[in-house]
Chain A
Amino acid sequence: KAGVTQTPRYLIKTRGQQVTLSCSPISGHRSVSWYQQTPGQGLQFLFEYFSETQRNKGNFPGRFSGRQFSNSRSEMNVSTLELGDSALYLCASSSTGLLDSGANVLTFGAGSRLTVL
């Protein structure tokens, strides 16, 4: 069973540009979450999608957006990039997203490492 796949793995952008990251969840998983990981702030929740609907959003500016497609694949977009957006962006999937029920667990992808110059 394939795991969570994220592309691209590494990318370098300059300030003001925009970037789109992609995530393919584990087959059968319908919930996709995005997290930003930085040395100073640790893992910070960005948003979660289920059946193409955003169910929860973290405390990030509107420059951060996402979407989910009918096949559960998800993308996140960051516009007008700032130096502080340099981070590892992690995608995680779970079957329903209801982490406190059943055997739902978050499985992470390898991440997309974004460097903003």
Chain B
Amino acid sequence: GENVEQHPSTLSVQEGDSAVIKCTYSDSASNYFPWYKQELGKRPQLIIDIRSNVGEKKDQRIAVTLNKTAKHFSLHITETQPEDSAVYFCAAPKRGSNYKLTFGKGTLLTVNP
């Protein structure tokens, strides 16, 4: 089945710095890679996703890069703000079943004012 490894498990940055979270996946057939943000006590919310026909996608301060050869993708947050503090999850669909996402274990990002 699909395995998704996510690093680091915790990340603390100063406000204004950049944050990078990395994920690797095992199934070379995977072609959809979403990132979810979950604030304390709230539901996971999709913040950005990338499909395998592109290598990078940006949305304001957030970007995701994809390296299909190396089977890894990363979330980049620039000019971090305290409201970026949350748990971030990466995910990838399982081979032969694009109805199911396998999630990484999550990264707790803390942005210190």
Contact = CB atoms under 8 A, between A and B. Distances in A.
Interface of A: 31, 33, 35, 42-45, 48, 50, 55-56, 58, 90, 97-101, 105-111
Given A100-B31, A100-B93, A111-B43, A106 B103 contact: no
18 contacts: A33-B99, A42-B105, A43-B91, A56-B97, A58-B100, A99-B93, A99-B98, A99-B99, A99-B101, A100-B98, A101-B98, A105-B34, A105-B46, A106-B46, A106-B101, A108-B43, A108-B45, A110-B43
A45 B101 contact: yes
Contacts of A110: 42-43
A107 to B, nearest CB: 7
Contact of A48 (B34, B51, B100, B103): B100
Contact of A50 (B44, B49, B99): B99
- The interface centre, meaning the residue of B34, B43, B94 with most chain A CB atoms within 10 A of its CB, is B43
A111 B100 CA distance: 18
Interface in B50-92: 51, 89, 91
* Interface of B, helix, strand, loop or mixed by DSSP: strand
B89 A99 contact: no
B26 interface: no
Contacts of B89: 42-43
Contacts of B94: 56
Contact of A109 (B43, B98, B102, B105): B43
A64 B102 CA distance: 19
B112 to A, nearest CB: 23
Contacts of A109: 43
Nearest to A105: B46
